[in-house]
Amino acid sequence: MSKSKVVICEHPLIQHKLTFIRNQETNTKDFRELVDEVATLMAYEITRDLPLDTISVRTPVAETEAKVISGRMVGLVPILRAGLGMVEGILKLIPSAKVGHIGLARDHETLLPREYYINLPTDAHERLLIVIDPMLATGGSAIAAISSLKQRSCEQIKLMCLIAAPEGVRAVQEAHPDVDIYIAALDERLNEKGYIIPGLGDAGDRMFGTN
């Protein structure tokens, strides 16, 4: 199978806001608001290929044919906890989306992601699922989350992240060549602690004001 698509959302508004998200001087409130706004803008891009149906509509002056999004429904699946920060922003554009959650923690013995929580809409397998994780670092969590969805018969999956490292993109593409990846920036690399360079630090800590 050929490799999945990587879409870098280069819209100037996204790039401008991302710069302030990266800035270590940005406080928790502003960080949250900016992530929310970028998530809304990225939702516009990730829904670009949703199929449309044609229906009849009567305007005040004439009957016409017009487009509506066809039956395919969307589900959001944030990876806990940092993924939560992008959910509301996406829901502003897709208010009817259902939201599932996946919790992953690193197993201290295997060092692999271990799923400690999953709760999905019952019709998740019929939806286009958008897996959300702001930072695509090694790709371990995203790969595990997507595998878990596939084990539950979910087939239509996209991945949305704010910032990715090349290592993470490669790993997801190898493990899941059918899953397109939407990011706002492709950064340089991972450092020895697994942080994306230059990145934005720990997304969860910055979003929730912890450290």
In this structure, the strands spanning 63-69 and 74-80 are unpaired
Separate counts of helices (H) and strands (E) for the chain: 6, 15
How is residue 125 written in tokens?
């397998």
CA–CA distance, 83 with 78 (Å, rounded to integer): 4
**How many residues form the binding site for ligand URA (CB under 6 A)?**
10
Per rule CB under 6 A, is residue 137 in the interface with ligand URA? yes
Sign of CA dihedral 75, 81, 83, 86: positive
Q: Binding residue per annotation — 21?
A: no
| 196 carries a ligand binding annotation | yes
Is 110 marked active-site?
A: yes
8-state DSSP, 195: -
Query: Has 49 been annotated as catalytic?
Result: no
Select 21 or 120, whichever has its Cβ closest to ligand URA. Answer: 21
By CB under 6 A, tell whether 203 contacts ligand URA.
Answer: yes
Rounded-to-integer distance, Cα 211 and Cα 202, Å? 8
Choose among 108, 27, 115, 32: nearest CA to 77.
115
| Shortest CB 206 distance to ligand URA, Å | 8
- Residue 130 as a binder of ligand URA (CB under 6 A): the answer is no
Q: How many residues does the chain have?
A: 211
Q: Least distance to ligand URA from the beta carbon of 100, Å?
A: 21
The smaller minimum CB distance to ligand URA, of residues 75 and 199, is found at: 199
At closest approach, how far in Å is the CB of 203 from ligand URA?
4
Where do contacts with ligand URA occur on this chain (CB under 6 A)?
82, 135, 137, 194-196, 199, 202-204
Catalytically annotated residues: 106, 110, 202, 205
